[in-house]
Amino acid sequence: MNADLHCHSVLSDGTLEPEALAARAKANGVELWSLTDHDELAGQRRARDAAAALGLPYLTGTEISVSFAGTTVHVVGLGFDLDDPQLVAGLAATRGGRGPRAREMGEALARAGIPGAYEGALKHAGNPELVSRTHFGRFLVERGVCADTQEVFRRFLVEGKPGFVPHRWARLGDAVRWIVDAGGIAVIAHPARYRLTPTEDYALFVEFKAHGGRGVEVLTGAHSAADAARYAETAREFGLLASRGSDFHSPGESRIDLGGLPPLPAGLEPVWETLAPRIHAPA
């Protein structure tokens, strides 16, 4: 099953509209799709309807920003009810911190000799409630400060660099509860990307499970084959469902296209089997 359960549209930090992503997923052979914009559901109905029109089964999705052990961890929610008031309010509160943070990032970059970055980033943002580091990245590339967004992150936007502004996101337990209470399944996104010690990584999965989290992304654009093997083992050890998602953002930027990942390693329970009753099947 070519399931792709992680990607982004212009409603967060992707560059394609939900309809264009649906068409791209379909053209690339995706058989089950989810749009998972950061902290935002605004693209969900468009994605679901576009998928239905293409005969592409769809799961509702989002990717919630969480603070854990002094770093940022992402939790993907899949198959939840779009109208759940607690989830809607939780995501709105999580988005709420982004405006002030983006202004502070602009000020920090100005002090580093790059003026106008807040306004520049805002112009790249399709959703004014969702200015992200990615939009700053695109602005700095446009300005010619860096060759690509990877370089922007390395030089400016990560901890210890001049444009990084520490931020408090949602609590792990809250994010999981919002998803689960809305009828969905919570999944730890791209676990190999976090700068956690082995002890913290273990604690993340222990706490995540204790809160009702049930899945882990084994295959994702940022994982090497070794990362996938490591988190396949984590899935088995913790009895977690395995997910698979490209984390596609943009044709020019993303290394892995929609539908472009290899199959899940053998012996794992795919999250989409448990989510079967939550899939929007085309008429």
CB 16, min distance to ligand AMP, A: 14
CB 246, min distance to ligand AMP, A: 12
At 104, the amino acid letter reads E
Q: Are 205 and 188 in contact (CB under 8 A)?
A: yes
Using CB under 6 A as the binding rule, whether residue 132 contacts ligand AMP is answered as: yes
CB 249, min distance to ligand AMP, A: 6
Residue nearest to ligand AMP (CB): 132
Give whichever of 32 and 189 is closer to Mn ion, judged by the CB atom. Answer: 189
Using CB under 6 A as the binding rule, whether residue 134 contacts ligand AMP is answered as: yes
* Residue in 70, 143, 150, 252 binding ligand AMP, rule: CB under 6 A: 150
* Residue in 133, 177, 211, 244 binding ligand AMP, rule: CB under 6 A: 133
Binding positions for Mn ion, rule: CB under 5 A: 13, 63, 74, 189, 247
CB 160, min distance to ligand AMP, A: 13
Pick out residues in 190-219 that bind ligand AMP (CB under 6 A). none
Whole-angstrom distance, CA of residue 256 vs CA of residue 74: 19
Give whichever of 20 and 222 is closer to ligand AMP, judged by the CB atom. Answer: 222
Task: Give the binding-site size for ligand AMP (rule: CB under 6 A).
Answer: 10
For β-strands 185-188 and 170-171, DSSP reports them as unpaired
CB 153, min distance to ligand AMP, A: 4
Q: Other C-beta atoms within 10 Å of 56: how many?
A: 21
CA-nearest of 251, 238, 278, 242 to 84 is: 278
Q: Which stretch binds ligand AMP (CB under 6 A): 126-134, 226-234, 235-243, 275-283?
A: 126-134
CA-nearest of 274, 262, 258 to 186 is: 274
In sequence order, what E strands does the chain have? 3-4, 32-33, 61-68, 71-78, 170-171, 185-188, 215-220, 241-245
Query: Residue 9 binds which one of Mn ion, ligand AMP, none, with CB within 5 to 8 A depending on kind?
Result: none
CB 150, min distance to ligand AMP, A: 5
For the residues of 41-92, what is the DSSP string, one character each? -TTHHHHHHHHHHHT--B--EEEEEEEETTEEEEEEEES--TT-HHHHHHHH
Q: Which residues pair with 67 in a beta bridge?
A: 72, 171
Q: Other C-beta atoms within 10 Å of 220: how many?
A: 25
HSE-up of residue 74 (Cα within 13 Å, Cβ side): 19
Residue nearest to Mn ion (CB): 74
**Window 243-272: contact mask with ligand AMP (x via CB under 6 A):** ------x-----------------------
Binding site for ligand AMP (CB under 6 A): 13, 38, 65, 132-134, 149-150, 153, 249
